[in-house]
Structure 1
Amino acid sequence: MEQSRREARRRQRSRSRRGGLIAGGLAVLLVGYGTADALDAVPGILTFEAPIEVQPLPQPVARAVPADAAAPLPSDAPIPQSLGSRLQPVLDQDGMTGALGVDIRDAATGEVLYAVDEAAARTPASVTKVLTAAAALGAVGADTRFTTAARLSPTEGTTGTVHLVGGGDVLLGAGASDPDAVIGHAGLASLAEQTASGLRAAGVDTVTVAADLSRYPGPSFNAGWDQVDVANGYIAPIVPLMVNSALTSDAPGSARQDDPAGAAVAAFAAALEDRGIAAATADPGAAPADSALLGTVESAPVSAVVRHLLLASDNVVSEVMGREVALALDRPGSAAEAPAAVIAALAAQQLDTGSIELADTSGLDYANRISAHDLTTILQAAATSDGDLSLLLPSLPVGGLSGTLFDRYLDEDTDDAAGRVSAKTGSLRTVSSLAGSVLTQDGRLVVFSLLSDGLAPGSAGAARQVIDEAVTVIAECGC
Structure 2
Amino acid sequence: MKKKHVVVPLLASFLMFSSYQAPAESEVDAAKEESGLKKKLDTVLADEDLKGALAGVSIRMAETGEVIYEHDAHTRLKPASNMKLFSGAAAMDQLGPDYTFSTEVYAEGTIRGHKLHGDLYLKGKGDPTLMMEDLEKMAEELKENGIREVKGDLIADDTWYDDVRLSEDITWNDETHYYGAQVSALTVAPNEDYDAGTVIVAAYPAEKEGDPARVEVTPKTDYVKIINRTKTVPADGERDISMEREHETNRIIVEGTIPLDSSRSRSWIAVSEPTGLALDVFRSALEEQGIKVKGKNKEGKRTPKKALKLITHESMPLAELFIPFMKLSNNGHAEVLVKEMGKVVHDEGSWEKGLEVVDSYLKSAGVDTSTLRLRDGSGMSHVNMIPAHEISELLYQVQDEKWFSAYLNSLPVAGNAERFVGGTIRSRMQDTAAEDNVQAKTGSLTGVSSLSGYVTTKDGEKLIFSIVLNNYLVEDVGDLEDRIAVILAEHRFVEEE
Instruction: Mark the runs of 5 or more structure 2 residues left unpaired by the alignment.
Output: 1-29, 190-195, 201-217, 219-264, 417-421
Separation in structure 2 between the aligned mates of residue 162 and residue 169 of structure 1, nearest angstrom:
19
Post-superposition offset of 1:323:
0.7
Count of residues paired in the alignment: 382
1:450 aligns with 467
2:88 aligns with 133
Q: For 1:296, which of 304, 308, 312 is the aligned residue? A: 312
- For the 8 Å contact 1:310–1:395, the answer to whether it is kept is yes
Separation in structure 2 between the aligned mates of residue 266 and residue 112 of structure 1, nearest angstrom:
54
- For the 8 Å contact 1:376–1:435, the answer to whether it is kept is yes
Separation in structure 2 between the aligned mates of residue 324 and residue 217 of structure 1, nearest angstrom:
11
2:239 aligns with none
Q: For 2:373, which of 340, 351, 357 is the aligned residue? A: 357
| 1:100 lines up with 2:117 in the alignment | no
Separation in structure 1 between the aligned mates of residue 91 and residue 172 of structure 2, nearest angstrom:
27
2:140 aligns with 193
Post-superposition offset of 1:96:
1.7
Separation in structure 2 between the aligned mates of residue 372 and residue 117 of structure 1, nearest angstrom:
8
Residue by residue over 1:250-275, the C-alpha shift from the partner in whole angstroms, topping out at 9 and shown as x without a partner, is 88751122221111111111111122
SS at match of 2:441: strand
Change (3 A) 1:392 1:349: same
Change (3 A) 1:466 1:252: farther
Map 1:455-466 → 2, pairs under 5 A = 455-456=472-473, 459-461=474-476, 463-466=477-480
Post-superposition offset of 1:206:
4.0
SS at match of 1:254: strand
- For the 8 Å contact 2:365–2:397, the answer to whether it is kept is no
Paired residue type of 1:246: G
Residue by residue over 1:277-320, the C-alpha shift from the partner in whole angstroms, topping out at 9 and shown as x without a partner, is 11352233110011100101101111111222111111111110
What is the TM-score normalised by the length of structure 1? 0.75
- For the 8 Å contact 1:205–1:276, the answer to whether it is kept is no
Map 1:82-97 → 2, pairs under 5 A = 82=35, 83-97=37-51
1:270 aligns with 284
Residue by residue over 1:76-123, the C-alpha shift from the partner in whole angstroms, topping out at 9 and shown as x without a partner, is xx9973321221111211122311111101111111111112111111
Instruction: Mark the runs of 5 or more structure 1 residues left unpaired by the alignment.
Output: 1-77, 176-186
- For the 8 Å contact 1:399–1:407, the answer to whether it is kept is yes
Identity of aligned residues (%): 29
Max Rg structure? 2
Change (3 A) 1:228 1:393: same
- For the 8 Å contact 1:126–1:364, the answer to whether it is kept is yes
Q: For 1:247, which of 187, 191, 198 is the aligned residue? A: 198
- For the 8 Å contact 2:41–2:484, the answer to whether it is kept is yes
What is the TM-score normalised by the length of structure 2? 0.73
Residue by residue over 1:339-365, the C-alpha shift from the partner in whole angstroms, topping out at 9 and shown as x without a partner, is 232112222344443322111111111
RMSD: 2.1
Q: For 1:397, which of 401, 412, 427 is the aligned residue? A: 412
Post-superposition offset of 1:246:
1.8
Change (3 A) 1:416 1:423: same
Map 1:17-36 → 2, pairs under 5 A = none
1:48 aligns with none
SS at match of 1:154: strand
- For the 8 Å contact 1:199–1:205, the answer to whether it is kept is no
Separation in structure 2 between the aligned mates of residue 230 and residue 329 of structure 1, nearest angstrom:
29
SS at match of 2:440: strand
Bigger drift between 311-320 and 327-336 goes to 327-336
Bigger drift between 315-324 and 81-90 goes to 81-90
Residue by residue over 1:189-218, the C-alpha shift from the partner in whole angstroms, topping out at 9 and shown as x without a partner, is 222222233352xx8544522111111114
Q: For 1:436, which of 441, 446, 453 is the aligned residue? A: 453
- For the 8 Å contact 2:414–2:434, the answer to whether it is kept is yes
Residue by residue over 1:104-157, the C-alpha shift from the partner in whole angstroms, topping out at 9 and shown as x without a partner, is 011111111111121111110111111111010001111111111001113476
| 1:228 lines up with 2:173 in the alignment | yes
- For the 8 Å contact 2:414–2:435, the answer to whether it is kept is yes
2:125 aligns with 167
Separation in structure 2 between the aligned mates of residue 348 and residue 324 of structure 1, nearest angstrom:
19
Paired residue type of 1:193: E
Map 1:368-379 → 2, pairs under 5 A = 368-379=384-395
Paired residue type of 1:403: G
| 1:318 lines up with 2:334 in the alignment | yes
- For the 8 Å contact 2:365–2:394, the answer to whether it is kept is no
Change (3 A) 1:349 1:436: same
In terms of fraction of residues, the more strand-rich structure is 2
SS at match of 2:450: strand
- For the 8 Å contact 2:433–2:490, the answer to whether it is kept is yes
1:387 aligns with 402
Post-superposition offset of 1:236:
1.5
Change (3 A) 1:395 1:477: same
1:17 aligns with none
Change (3 A) 1:142 1:418: same
Residue by residue over 1:9-29, the C-alpha shift from the partner in whole angstroms, topping out at 9 and shown as x without a partner, is xxxxxxxxxxxxxxxxxxxxx
- For the 8 Å contact 2:86–2:358, the answer to whether it is kept is yes
Separation in structure 2 between the aligned mates of residue 131 and residue 253 of structure 1, nearest angstrom:
29
Change (3 A) 1:223 1:205: closer
| 1:147 lines up with 2:102 in the alignment | yes
